[in-house]
Structure 1
Amino acid sequence: MESAVTALVVQNTPYGGPERWGDWLAEGGVRVEVVRGDVGEALPARLAHDALIVLGGAYLPDDDERAPWLPAVRALMSQALDRNVPVFGICLGGQMLAQVAGGRVAAEHGEPEFGSTALTLLPDAAQDPLFAGLPTRPTAMENHVDAIVRLPDGARWLASSERCPYQAFRVGQAAWGVQFHPEIGPDRIPHWPAGRLERYGVDPAELYRRAVLEDPAAAPTWREVALRFAARVRDQR
């Protein structure tokens, strides 16, 4: 019997699990195995899964003093890139992909983004295996103050937003990074630290209202991306 197709998911914060993407990937035939660096779970030294997904967290990709498991995550990311194993990096994970592949990330760069945010797909998205044919102005959940400031050489730039240019990109043929959170819905907003939002003059109630309004259109878009990623993982196995 053929073994299950699996993706290693690295979780970096207590409320930063795979959420809806876990269900959507399972729907697409890929089982997720979550390892939590934030609670001291050991990451494997060698990537033996069919895909790597790195989730978000309130760290820079090399914030090793506060998050001592990050060197192991970067090593797994490098292995995946070297071996053309499918990768999907979300928020911190997307920033890590950019940095490991030769780009640059800056702390508290530009204007922060929170809640449901309009994106613009760029010309390279039209030929991308995950982004082709999506709505040209989808919305997605954001929760970041740090940002990618330079993409790796040769990366395909797929999406931008008004405040943050590098919202989605692809490295090589099988590694995607996004600044936004395609895995979460409006129900995550009440768990965000209120003090952090207040620091930037953001009203959590308004964030939630807008996200609830826009999620019925956003969720099917990011489900489609998750299913396409799952198909890519299965095909490359």
Structure 2
Amino acid sequence: MRPETEASDDEFAAILRKGGLRADQAHRIRLDRQDLPDEISLDDYSGVIVGGGPGCVSDPPDKKTDVEARIEAAVLGLMPEITTRDFPFMGCCYGIGILAHHLGATVTKEKFAEAVGATTCLLTPEGRADPLLKGLPEAFRAFVGHKEAVQTLPAGCVHLLASAPCPFQMIRFGQNVYATQFHPEADSDGFEVRIRIYKDRGYFPPETAAGLVAMCRVEDVHVPEAILQRFVARYARERRR
């Protein structure tokens, strides 16, 4: 989802590392550079992971770049089959907007945006029983930074994690379709990369970048990666091709 190669490469490496995947166990598709292959079939995969990106689902069409519009259309094109089949899906940050939008929920910049940094995520009663969250701390820190958010729980979804600034930090549709507002793959090093690359994209005043990096480096953020690890462990199988 990220047109900036350094940010894209760093995020992909983090997803592999934190998820416990080798590069040959993942099929990376950079939608900023290529279309989804015509012959792509979910039957060839264990699951789909969608990373973050600078685009916003809620932006009007005339405010989206051609690349952002193409990325959005490609991912939305997968969602009917994913949700109908209850196919394993993990949407990180941008992915929660995609899932909610597909399900007909409101995604806007009206409320619940979060500044770049760490927030405290809280397990809901349903979250305590979910296979990806069961046994995790009742509250833990996670890295966030988003201009838009899901405003109401989408139909058919279970509310798993909340935070004070943004109520819908993690949701599940059906039994296997997950999405997070926070970044489960992110650590201080990764967020420093993104702060540097996106300092002029309206997430924060550029002159505060150094302070944000310092703040991220003192945060104890390690629980979110367990969610990614559990997703991979629960659904991974040998690829059919």
Say whether the 8 Å CA contact 2:122–2:161 is kept in structure 1. Answer: yes
- Residue in structure 2 matching 1:128, options 127, 130, 134: 130
Say whether the 8 Å CA contact 1:26–1:32 is kept in structure 2. Answer: no
- Residue in structure 1 matching 2:52, options 37, 49, 56: 56
Superposition pairs for residues 13-32 of structure 1, below 5 Å? 13-14=3-4, 15-16=7-8, 17-27=11-21, 31-32=25-26
Letter of the 2:19 counterpart: L
Give 1:117's aligned residue: 119
Superposition pairs for residues 166-205 of structure 1, below 5 Å? 166-187=168-189, 188-189=191-192, 190-195=195-200, 196-199=202-205, 203-205=208-210
Aligned residues: 222
Structure 2 length as normaliser, TM-score?
A: 0.81
Identity of aligned residues (%): 28
Letter of the 1:54 counterpart: V
Superposition pairs for residues 73-152 of structure 1, below 5 Å? 73-107=75-109, 109-152=111-154
Give 1:207's aligned residue: 212
Q: Deviations over 1:16-69 (max 9, x none)?
A: 43232212334499922211112x212134443221111111222375652223
Letter of the 1:44 counterpart: P
The separation in 2 between residues aligned to 1:118 and 1:44, in whole angstroms, is 39
Tell me, yes or no, if structure 1 residue 33 matches structure 2 residue 38: no
Greater strand share, structure number: 1
Letter of the 2:56 counterpart: L
Letter of the 2:51 counterpart: L
Say whether the 8 Å CA contact 1:122–1:158 is kept in structure 2. Answer: yes
Deviation beyond 4 Å, 4+ runs, structure 1: 27-30, 62-65
Say whether the 8 Å CA contact 2:108–2:149 is kept in structure 1. Answer: yes
The separation in 2 between residues aligned to 1:30 and 1:132, in whole angstroms, is 29
1:134 deviates by 1.0
Q: Which runs of 5+ in 2 are unaligned?
A: none
Q: What SS does structure 2 have at the residue aligned with 1:129?
A: coil
Say whether the 8 Å CA contact 1:30–1:234 is kept in structure 2. Answer: no
Say whether the 8 Å CA contact 1:125–1:157 is kept in structure 2. Answer: yes
| Alignment CA distance shift 1:177-1:198 (3 Å) | closer
